Structure 1
């Protein structure tokens, strides 16, 4: 079997997404779709995907519409919103994985935004496991004081001003992350600066959520040192998904011989020792 990562085209509602499939080696354990974090290109996840594929888990990564390899027009021309990424694009990637891997268990791994779509999707019966890391129902006041100046600049000062002027969120120029479509930024801002988070968009750009989904194991995870989506916000999300039997897990870096896990870095190459435990594999942590 050719184990070279394969480029995959994913048809989504109103968009064409660029994906990459990492075929499993050896005995196939499961097939996993990885929904990425906001502003994080799929290439960032190549180390995790290669690690999982070597353990019998096929992995599909992809970029959301009008971002990364899925950007097919100038970003200022994009009409994408945050809900497009969390609902339409995630659903399309899940359907594509089911086509690529028509047999065996299906797993879902959502990183930050990638985990927020859980209650808005239906899942095939063979979906065995859903894991999120750094996905939470947050508010800007949840952040520790050390991180709050950056948050305030992003949501209330440089971020909105630059987005209004440029026609997109110029995160690279502002040293505040990746460039993002304006609609993605504005809706994301609304969720993170209002106490009802995304509830105001339910029935508008979001379907009715199902927090009592049945079937798959649901694991809601976070790093203890995550300041971007702190444990308190992730705990709220786990509590909302309690009817689905969601299990909350907070990871301490030192337990794995690591100095940090943080938010985005949780799935960076250097943090491989925690990944088996994150997915709940039947191997020792750090294996």
Structure 2
């Protein structure tokens, strides 16, 4: 099946009152697992490649983007390709020739005024090329290289009035908001502010995005979607499943050297995690 656009998947989910999941791709096995999980769940999904994943691939976007695209095109599931947490303008501009239908431009560490200016420029560039643009307002902590951030600290969460003004000023197609989750959580203990989610959904015309969903329990994710959250980002949970299977295999076979022996069960474990998250969103 051909690639579909992220904007199409998000619009469909929002209209139906559902969520759509976006899963981080680091290796070919991640992309294959996401496609397999989506096929089993009978649901669409977003393959997202982050700026940090590009750095892992020695700064080269093309190889991992081509791999994810090939996996999506050979899958029976409806899948889109998204470039995530981009701070480098050069990488942003690489999204179009590599076939990405969407990008998350992350200027959240700038002042509000600088964030608006930089994001509005990214939106102008993206919309000129039919690229759907997501941005972030508030502080969703836990990103690689950052100091720990308390998701419940004063001033961290996204203010609905400010969010509405931000979307109007930038023209973004979706907004990632801080409502109690955090990136890179390995335990699912996050408690979301559902009243805030509902207030944001009422104030902001653009669909809302939940980052750090790996640390959010099933019931909290369901409630978040019911309250108005649409795009649900998942990354660490895939890595937890993957690494757990690799550890188990190597512990049982200390002399084994064939990576296929542990990558196959690791990929299968990730596919199960993908299907599990997709099942929460409808």
TM range (shorter): 0.3 to 0.5
Larger % of strand: which? Answer: 1
TM-score, normalised via structure 2 length: 0.36
Flag the structure with more relative contact order, 1 or 2, with Cα contacts below 8 A and sequence separation at least 6. 2
TM-score, normalised via structure 1 length: 0.35
Larger % of helix: which? Answer: 2
